[in-house]
Structure 1
Amino acid sequence: MKLQFIKEQARNIRAQTLAIYYAARDPRMPFFVRVLAILVAAYALSPIDLIPDFIPIIGLLDDIIIIPAGLALIMRLTPPSVMESARLQAQEAAEKPVSYSAAVIIITTWLVLLWVFARWVFIALNT
């Protein structure tokens, strides 16, 4: 029961995030709300957190609280017509098929770059 609830909440946050993305691109969106949307997205994607994730329990709480709270604030500040349009765009985008080949290419590129960087560090440390 709890796992199903968590999965549903994760899907809901994903749908809201996608809708906020489309809303932020809408020219009818107020400038302040657009900046706030960019900040929340940057925080969500940033490897730097207010509280590091390796600290047990507390490290993940900032992600669990800040991101949904930021999304809720942005949704509340966004004009209803912009939000409705963004939700429709997000729903259409969510229904499109996922490109697994593109995902493989991107992951492979990151792994190669990681390997090159690790090799470079290893050589630099051994000289």
Structure 2
Amino acid sequence: MDRLLLVAGVALALWALSCALMVLLAARLPNGLMKQVAEFLPSCVTTARTLRRSPLVPRRAKVALLVAVLWVVSPIDLLPEFLPVIGPLDDVVAVILLLRYAARSIPRETLLAAWPTDPRLLERLLGRDRVSSTR
């Protein structure tokens, strides 16, 4: 039993260390597409949490945003996370689809104000016509 706890503790420490290392390395990326990709899911979660508190966002959009956040934090995935490259793909696709759905009914200014990083990625994600159509 002690050996199992030791192995679990070492595994947890290595996981936490690798997460911290990834955050540090992602912060050092130069501005551009790679940095935007690294910031994508955290930006989506932050945006969804911000928009869920906004009175300007309709209920159906808030439900879609809640589902997006729950999808990202859920340990159950269509594709296991340990698969290289395609592991987080189901999270990304689900978040994009849910964010696009919610964005149809959210005012452009509210959506852009909630996006914590470069708004060009959000415009690329939604399509310029969709972001501009809420003016």
What is the TM-score of this pair, normalised by structure 1? 0.52
What are the superposed Cα offsets for residues 45-66 of structure 1, whole Å, 9 maximum, x if unpaired?
Answer: 1111123334566543312322
Matches within 5 A, 1:73-92: 73-87=101-115, 90=116
Percent of paired sites with the same residue = 27
Instruction: Calculate the aligned-residue CA RMSD, in Å.
Output: 3.2
Distance change >3 Å, CA 27–CA 6, structure 1 → 2: same
Unmatched tracts of structure 1, length 5 or more:
92-127
Within the alignment, does 1:43 sit opposite 2:71 as a pair? yes
Distance change >3 Å, CA 52–CA 33, structure 1 → 2: same
Q: Give the greater-gyration-radius structure (CA).
A: 1
Name the one with the larger helix percent.
1
Quote the Cα distance in structure 1 between the aligned partners of 2:44 and 2:88. 20
Distance change >3 Å, CA 6–CA 70, structure 1 → 2: farther
Which structure exhibits the higher relative contact order, with contacts defined as CA atoms closer than 8 Å and separated by 6 or more residues?
1
Instruction: Name the residue aligned to 1:64.
Output: 92
Q: By how many angstroms is 1:27 displaced?
A: 1.5
Quote the Cα distance in structure 2 between the aligned partners of 1:37 and 1:61. 18
Aligned residues: 89
Q: By how many angstroms is 1:70 displaced?
A: 2.4
Matches within 5 A, 1:1-127: 5-54=33-82, 58-87=86-115, 90=116
Q: Give runs of ≥4 in structure 1 deviating > 6 Å.
A: none
Quote the Cα distance in structure 1 between the aligned partners of 2:114 and 2:46. 8
Unmatched tracts of structure 2, length 5 or more:
1-31, 118-135
One-letter code of the match for 2:37? Q
Does the aligned pair in 1 maintain the 2:50–2:114 contact within 8 Å? yes
